[in-house]
Structure 1
Amino acid sequence: MITAEALVKRYGTKVAVDSIDFSVRPGQVTGFLGPNGAGKSTTMRMIVGLDRPTAGRVEVNGRPYREHRAPLREVGVLLDAKAAHAGRSAYKHLLSIAATHGIGAKRVREVIGLAGLDSVAGKRVGGFSLGMGQRLGIATALLGDPATIILDEPVNGLDPEGVRWVRTLMRSLAAEGRTVLLSSHLMSEMAQTADRLIVIGRGRILADDAIGDVISGATRSTTRVRTRETERLMATIAAPGVVVSLLADGAIEITGLTAEQVAVAASAAGIVLHEVASVSGSLEEAYIALTAGEVEYRSSNIVQEGAVR
């Protein structure tokens, strides 16, 4: 488990992390989201003792990371896939790290197999692709069979099979009762992997809840309808708080009524519906809504004619 209380990090006059409180619980995958410069990397570095907090406290499995006698057995971390010595083979890299904690060669071979690196275990890390480096970083994180796993952008450079492997692995680790903290900018992947989300912006927590509650709290649900009696339906459901929009494909989008309420009203009026469905907001929409005022670097939405060739 990871717990942070009033956690602050300043670099001179810049506040990177602004007195945040959160917990990452065992048995679930917690997604960690935020724009560039939001404080995600700084927070993760403080969790594993690479940066000291200016104020506050963060603990992993009941104590600060620096106080663990065998940290590799407590916390598995991937913050930089390029951290391995370029001249060593994948096997020798893992073996050297394992030796610091008395972990044997058997476990090294196990994580090599788990990461799908058997065929390249004897090759130098300097020749690895980004995806292979990510697999090696994940293997390193799992080397001590830790109770807590922290991975920063673990699917960068992975092909679809690799992305699916990471997703399945994270879910299985959480199912074993481990604590999993996962950072990624891929909203579609996070939506399939995470049980809970922590969203940070400009060093402050913007949301900390179950993924479904974060989405529902930051987006609106609508009802999509198709009928040949559009005007009659609009008149039938007209009421304060009900907003009806005609879509380009001929469907109707209704805000303020559930699909069931629309269907009941249409049935009572003898209106035949060819389609009625609830449309929920997406994680991407929720993320953009939450972080709209927290983005450090913003591009213009206007491209002048002739500016791009």
Structure 2
Amino acid sequence: MITAQNLTKRFGATTAVDDISFEVRPGQVTGFLGPNGAGKSTTMRMIVGLDRPDGGSVTVGGRPFAAHAAPITEVGALLDAKAVHPGRTAEAHLRMLAATHGIGRDRVGEVMELTGIESVARKRVGGFSLGMHQRLGIAATMLGDPHTLILDEPVNGLDPEGVHWVRGFVRSLAAEGRSVFLSSHLMSEMAQTADHIIVLGKGRVLADAPVDEFLRGSQRERTRVRSSDSRELGVLLASEGVAITAASGDVIEVEGVPAARIARVAVEAGIDLHELLPQRGSLEEAYLALTGDAVEYRSNPAAAAA
């Protein structure tokens, strides 16, 4: 379990992390989201003692990371998949890490098999693709069979099979009762993997909630409607705060009106309904709506089109 209380970090005049508090609980995958510059990487670095907080505290398993006698058995962290000496082989790298904690060679073989890198065990890391670096990094996080996993963008560079494997892997770790803290910019992947979401923007917590609750709280009700007279139904439903979009000839999308109200209006007007399908907003839509004012680096679509 990770517990951050009033965590703050400044770099000169810039406050990268601004008085944030959150928990990463056992038995679930907690997704960590935010625009570039939001403070995610700095927060993860403070968790594992690579950056010192200017205020507040953060513990893992009830203690600061450095206070654990064998940190690798409590926390497995992948913050930079390519932070490995390029001249070492994959096996030598893992054996070096294992030796620092008295972990035997058998465990090195187990984590290589777990991550599918046995075939490149004796190859130098400098020749690895980004995807193979990711697998090696995940193998390193699992050496100590830790209670908590911290993974920063673990699917970068992986092919579809690798992405699918990482998704199933972190879900299985959470099912075993471990705490999994997962950062990613891939919203579709996070939507399929995370149970809980923490969103940072400009160093502050913008959201901290289960995924379903986050979606409900960030989205207006939207319903796909197919009827015998979609135009007339749209006129009857139109009012302040209601948005109606024509999707095709007999289909409209209605936002801001409960599906039950749409059905009642149609029945009263004698309009036949052929389809009434509430639409769940995507995690990407909810995230963009929440972080729109917290984006530090914003692109210019007009300039790109020129």
The aligned residue for residue 262 of structure 1 is 262
Equivalent residues of 2:221, 2:257 under 8 A apart: no
Q: 2:229·2:250 contact (CA, 8 Å) conserved in 1?
A: no
Aligned to 1:132: 132
1:94 aligns with: 94
Distance 1:162 1:67 in 2: 34
Tell me the equivalent position of 1:172. 172
Structure 2 distance, partners of 1:304, 1:199, is: 28
Q: In 2, are the aligned partners of 1:4 and 1:22 still within 8 Å (CA)?
A: yes
- Farther off after superposition, 266-275 or 167-176: 266-275
Partner-residue secondary structure (3-state), 1:247: strand
* Aligned residue number for residue 246 of structure 1: 246
**Structure 1: which amino acid aligns with 2:29?**
V
Residue 274 of structure 1 and its aligned partner are, at CA, apart by 2.3
Who is 2:51 aligned against? 51
Distance 2:108 2:224 in 1: 53
Amino acid at match of 1:223: T
Q: Residue 69 of structure 2: SS of its match in structure 1?
A: coil
Q: Separation in 1 of the partners of 2:304 and 2:187?
A: 29
- Structure 1 residue 240, shift from structure 2 partner: 5.9
SS at 1:171's partner residue? Answer: helix
Q: Which residue in 2 is equivalent to 1:105?
A: 105
Structure 1 position 249, deviation (Å) = 5.5
Give per-residue Cα distances to partners, 1:125-165, cap 9 Å, x unaligned: 11111000000000000110000000000000000000000
- The residue matched to 1:132 in structure 2 has which SS? helix
State the SS of the aligned residue for 2:303.
coil
The 8 Å contact of residues 225 and 253 in structure 1, kept in 2 or not, is answered as yes
Please give the secondary structure, in 1, of the residue aligned with 2:57.
strand
Whole-Å separation in 2 of the counterparts to 1:296 and 1:83: 27
**Equivalent in the alignment of 1:69:** 69
Amino acid at match of 1:77: A
Match of 1:22 in 2: 22
Measure, in 2, the Cα distance between the counterparts of 1:241 and 1:285: 19
Name the Cα RMSD after superposition.
1.6
Counterpart residue identity of residue 50, structure 1: L
Partner of 1:161: 161
Residue 15 of structure 2 aligns to a residue in which SS?
strand
Q: Give 1:244 deviation, angstroms.
A: 3.0
* 8 A contact 2:2–2:60 mirrored in 1: yes
Unpaired segments ≥5 residues, structure 2: none
C-alpha separation in 1, matches of 2:249 and 2:71: 57
1:302 aligned residue: 302
SS at 1:102's partner residue?
A: coil
Residues 214-234 of structure 1, C-alpha deviation per residue, up to 9 Å, x if partnerless? 122122221111123124323
1:261 and 1:9, CA in 2 relative to 1: closer, same or farther beyond 3 A? same
Structure 2 counterparts to residues 78-227 of structure 1, below 5 A: 78-227=78-227
Q: Which amino acid aligns with 1:106?
A: D
Judge conservation of contact 1:220–1:280 (CA < 8 Å) in 2: no
Residues 304 and 296 (structure 1), Cα distance of their counterparts in 2 relative to 1, 3 Å cut? closer
- Change in CA separation of 1:268 and 1:2 when aligned onto 2, cut-off 3 Å: same
Counterpart amino acid of residue 260 in structure 1: A
The CA distance in 2 between the partners of 1:35 and 1:257, in whole Å, is 31
> Aligned pairs, how many?
306
Compared CA separation, residues 38 and 253, structure 1 to 2 (3 A): same
Instruction: Provide TM-score, normalisation by structure 2.
Output: 0.95
CA distance in 2 between counterparts of 1:220 and 1:89 reads: 52
AA partner of residue 283 (structure 2): L
Distance 1:288 1:249, change over 3 A: farther
| Residues 180-202 of structure 1, C-alpha deviations (whole Å, 9 max, x = no match) | 00000000000000000000011
Tell me the percent identity: 62
Instruction: Give, as a single letter, the amino acid of the residue that structure 2 aligns with 1:140.
Output: A
Q: Report the secondary structure of 1:267's partner residue.
A: helix
What per-residue deviation string (whole Å, max 9, x for no partner) do you get for residues 240-299 of structure 1? 654433335652121232223323432344321222211121111111111111111111
Would the alpha carbon gap of residues 103 and 281 (structure 1) be closer, same or farther in structure 2, given more than 3 Å must change?
Answer: same
